[in-house]
Amino acid sequence: MTALVLALTVTVVVLAVLVAGLLRSHATILRRLHELGAGVEPGTATLLPSVDAAASDDGPRRPAGVPETAPTGRAASDLVGTSIGGDALALRVRNVEHDTVLAFLSSGCTTCSGFWEALDEGVDLPAGTRLVVVTRDLAEESPAILADLAPDGVTVVCSSAAWRDHAVPGSPYVVHVDGPSGRVRGEGTGGSWEQVARLLADATGDLAYVGGPRRARRAAADLRREEDTDRALLEAGFVPGDDRLWIPLDTDGSHT
**What is the per-residue pLDDT for 205?**
84
Could you tell me if residue 247 is inside a domain?
no
Q: How many CB atoms lie within 10 A of CB 156?
A: 22
- What pLDDT does 5 receive? 58
Is residue 121 located within the same domain as residue 201? yes
Q: What is the pLDDT of residue 59?
A: 37
Give the per-residue pLDDT at 73.
Answer: 80
Domain that holds residue 227: 215-240
Q: Which residues pair with 173 in a beta bridge?
A: 104
Contacts of 178 (CB under 8 A, 6+ apart): 70, 71, 73, 99, 184, 185
- Three-state secondary structure call for residue 61: coil
Check which CATH number belongs to the domain holding 148 and give it.
3.40.30.10
Residue 225 lies in a domain: yes
Task: Report how many domains make up the chain.
Answer: 2
Same domain for 128 and 180, yes or no, is yes
The answer on 156 and 106 residing in a single domain is yes
Answer with the one of 191, 210, 229 that is the final residue of a domain.
210
- Amino acid 206 reads D
pLDDT the model gives residue 51: 36
What does the pLDDT read at residue 81? 95
Give residue 91's pLDDT: 93
- 236, 155: one domain: no
Assess if residue 253 is contained within a domain. no
Q: Can you give the pLDDT at residue 77?
A: 94
Question: What sign has the CA pseudo-torsion 108, 140, 82, 184?
Answer: positive
What is the structure's pLDDT at 26? 46
Residues 158 and 130 placed together within one structural domain of the fold: yes
**What is the rounded CA–CA span in Å between residue 105 and residue 89?**
17
In a domain, 24, yes or no: no
Q: Note whether 227 and 152 are same-domain residues.
A: no
What's the CA dihedral at 16, 17, 20, 26 to 10 degrees?
Answer: -120
Dist. CA 184–CA 71, nearest whole Å: 7
Q: What is the pLDDT of residue 136?
A: 96
How many Å apart are CA 94 and CA 181, to the nearest integer? 7
Q: In the prediction, which pLDDT does 18 show?
A: 55
Half-sphere exposure of 162 (CA within 13 A, CB side): 28
Are residues 115 and 235 located together in one domain of the fold? no
Q: Give the pLDDT of residue 144.
A: 94
* pTM: predicted TM-score of the whole model, two decimal places: 0.59
53 Cβ contact list (under 8 Å, min separation 6): 74
Residue 61's pLDDT is 40
Residue ranges of the chain with per-residue pLDDT less than 70? 1-72, 212-227, 230, 238-242, 245-256
